[in-house]
Amino acid sequence: MSELNLILLGPPGAGKGTQAERLRADFELPYYATGDILRAAVKADTDLGREAREYMDRGDLVPDELICKVVIDRVDSDEARDGFVLDGFPRTVGQAEELHRALEGLERQLTATLLIDAPDEEVIRRLSGRRVCLDSGHTYHVEFDPPKNDGFCDQDGSALVQRDDDKLETVRHRLEVFHQQTKPLVELYEREGLLRRFDGTRSPEEVNGHIRATLATLRLEEQI
């Protein structure tokens, strides 16, 4: 297996970001999150970036076709020649099909889609308990990592707040959107034999170990 071309799926709060960082470190893979790619393209003032900016400046959603172009532009780069990790893309079956066609055109293919899953109640518990320092952005959790003085940052004494994204109703809505968007993708990649599931309620070390073992197995299977 000369490449590791990976997609990360999972609800907010399941630990995708943590595992993405470990994949980058373990396998020296570039990590591409859709929002970051779009912002970088706009900042670099590329042709695709200028086209994306027109939609973003109007407050419109960037069309699937353009998002796919921006992502494929990164995937078809020197830094991604040995593989990549995609997060936040694809979000729809249409995007997944476009990615498949583009990779075929590059004579490449996906290695696996890694689904880091966690029950809704666990996601709500993790996200709704987060508190952030107003001044410096230090993060705490009322249950897992509480500050020494309730409501105040240990490091600079400033007030801790709950971000709007972490409020209970917002988290529930984010989960609803995630399930609506992701269920068809999960079914698609399961049919194609690309989906691998991981228990996001386990420790980050355990999840990372499971992912590494899974990828090692895929490499062995290719050699048989």
What confidence tier does 142 reach under pLDDT thresholds 50, 70, 90?
Answer: very high
What angle (nearest 5°) sits at the alpha carbon of residue 18, between those of residues 15 and 19?
Answer: 85
**Cα distance between residue 81 and residue 214, in whole Å:** 21
Query: Tokens 């707040």 map to which residue?
Result: 161
**Cα distance between residue 128 and residue 26, in whole Å:** 31
| Annotated active-site residue in 53, 91, 197, 212 | 91
For this structure, is 101 an active site residue?
no
Segment 48-64, tens digit of pLDDT: 788 888 887 787 767 88
| Annotated active-site residue in 22, 69, 74, 174 | 174
Segment 154-165, tens digit of pLDDT: 999 999 999 988
Segment 173-192, tens digit of pLDDT: 989 988 988 899 999 999 99
The span from the first CA to the last CA of the chain, in angstroms, equals 11
The answer to whether 44 and 101 have CB atoms below 8 angstroms apart is: no
- For residue 1, what pLDDT is reported? 52
Rounded to two decimals, the pTM is 0.84
Segment 164-173, tens digit of pLDDT: 889 999 999 9
- For residue 224, what pLDDT is reported? 60
All structural domains of the chain, each given as residue ranges with its CATH number in brackets, are 4-119+173-223 (3.40.50.300)
| Annotated active-site residue in 74, 108, 126, 130 | 130
Q: Using alpha carbons, list the distances in angstroms from residue 105 to 61, 72, 100, 108, 166.
A: 26, 11, 9, 8, 41
Neighbours of 191 (CB within 10 A): 9
The answer to whether 128 and 173 have CB atoms below 8 angstroms apart is: no
For this structure, is 126 an active site residue?
no
For this structure, is 196 an active site residue?
no
| Annotated active-site residue in 81, 163, 167, 183 | 163
For this structure, is 163 an active site residue?
yes
